[in-house]
Amino acid sequence: MLLGALWALPAAVLKVYRGVHEVISTIMLNWIGWFFVLWLIVGPYANPNDPNKTIRIPVAARLPEIGYGLSIAIIIAVIAALLTYFLLWHTTMGFGMRASGMNEKAARYAGMNPKVAVMWSFLIGGLLSGLGGAMKIMGEGPGYAISQGGANIYGFGFDGIGVALVGRNHPLGIILAAIFFGMLRAGTALMQAQAHVPLEIIKVIQGIIVITVAIPSLYDLVKKAIHRGAA
């Protein structure tokens, strides 16, 4: 978790002090992190007995299972979302973060410090990302390891973007959206085996859902741009 927060720190500093857009900086950090993980897979964490995956998570560090192929990771994730909701909607810090995100100038006029709010937003986001990554490996049996080439971890971060959009960027909505996306991903293997549905179809469905949800926001942006141009 702490490493996740530290990984988000460069993007936060670039955003606050140089105005670098977070999408650009974090995508660049994605590739640095990805190739660093690939090096760990074939280097320090390589499994001498199985070249197809890393060494396994120690038994004492694995998350307990609760049945149906699930671990307590799902409970921890829900608790994390609820705590995030409480932070954002029921604390002064959270109000400052939301206000700075919606209108930085108005937040500054109201006596808030948008730079501090942005820094906290990045660090907390990195913290939660680190938690999610840890739970992915610590709670996913029976392997409890990263596959060769990172096959069992690739793409989950980008799925998170879709989950956030479908959940309307609200912690409570994200819980429901995550369950929905999880059902789609879990049903993929069964659909491939029984109905011979290609994996790409599931990705297309996810993409259509995300685009459909994003259309109203895009419409609002275009409408505002037209009004500004007319003025």
Break the chain into its structural domains and give their ranges. 1-150, 155-231
Token digits for 178? 């995550």
Angle at 80 between CA 9 and CA 146, to 5 degrees: 70
Model confidence over 181-231: pLDDT tens digits?
Answer: 888 888 877 888 888 888 788 788 888 888 888 787 777 778 877 877 766
pLDDT at position 172 is: 95
Higher pLDDT, 26 or 222: 26
Given a contact cutoff of 8 angstroms between Cβ atoms, the answer to whether 72 and 64 are in contact is yes
The pLDDT-based confidence of 103 (bands split at 50, 70, 90) is: confident
**Which residues are CB-contacts of 12 (< 8 A; sequence separation ≥ 6)?**
118, 119, 121, 122, 123
- Stretch 86-108: mean pLDDT, rounded? 91
Mean pLDDT over 96-120 rounds to 90
pTM of the model: 0.85
Residue 36 in this model has a pLDDT that exceeds 90: yes
- Rounded Cα distance between 27 and 9, Å, is 14
Question: Mean pLDDT, to the nearest integer, of 63-85?
Answer: 93
Distance CA 54, CA 48 (A): 9
pLDDT at 230: 67
pLDDT score recorded for residue 131: 95
Average pLDDT over residues 10-32: 93
117 neighbors 100 (Cβ within 8 angstroms): yes
Element (H, E) at 191: helix 171-194
Q: Would you say residue 143 has pLDDT above 90?
A: no
The pLDDT of 46-74, averaged and rounded, is 89
- Name residue 46's beta-bridge partners: 54
* Enclosing H/E stretch for 52: none
What percent of the chain lies above the pLDDT cut of 70? 99
